[in-house]
Amino acid sequence: MKFFVTFKYSSSYENENENKIVEHTLEYEAKNLDELLSTLENEDYDDEIVINFNAKSDCLATERDEIRIMDENNKIVWGDK
């Protein structure tokens, strides 16, 4: 079954004006929602989407949070409805 997961990626810099926040949707294949959630929990992700290459201060952290999961029928099965 296909799932479409929308994430909120964010970065935190010493200078808060250099922080970035980006929403991005990725497609996954899983047998069911539980398998997908397990995959997401253990997945290493590329945080380059929120790296501010023009920043003068140091990056303190990057994060990725799931916002919404839709199934292949465009039904929201987890998150904001």
Give the residue numbers spanning the domain of 23.
2-76
Q: Work out the number of other CB atoms within 10 angstroms of the CB of residue 11.
A: 20
**Chain segment 6-41, per-residue pLDDT in tens:** 999 999 999 999 999 999 999 999 999 999 999 999
Question: Is residue 81, in this structure, part of any structural domain at all?
Answer: no
Question: Is residue 7, in this structure, part of any structural domain at all?
Answer: yes
In the chain, which ranges are continuous DSSP H helix?
A: 33-42
pLDDT at 81 > cutoff 70: no
- Give the integer Cα–Cα distance in Å for 21 and 10: 4
Question: Is residue 32, in this structure, part of any structural domain at all?
Answer: yes
Question: Is residue 29, in this structure, part of any structural domain at all?
Answer: yes
Question: Is residue 65, in this structure, part of any structural domain at all?
Answer: yes
The domain total for the chain is 1
Question: Is residue 40, in this structure, part of any structural domain at all?
Answer: yes
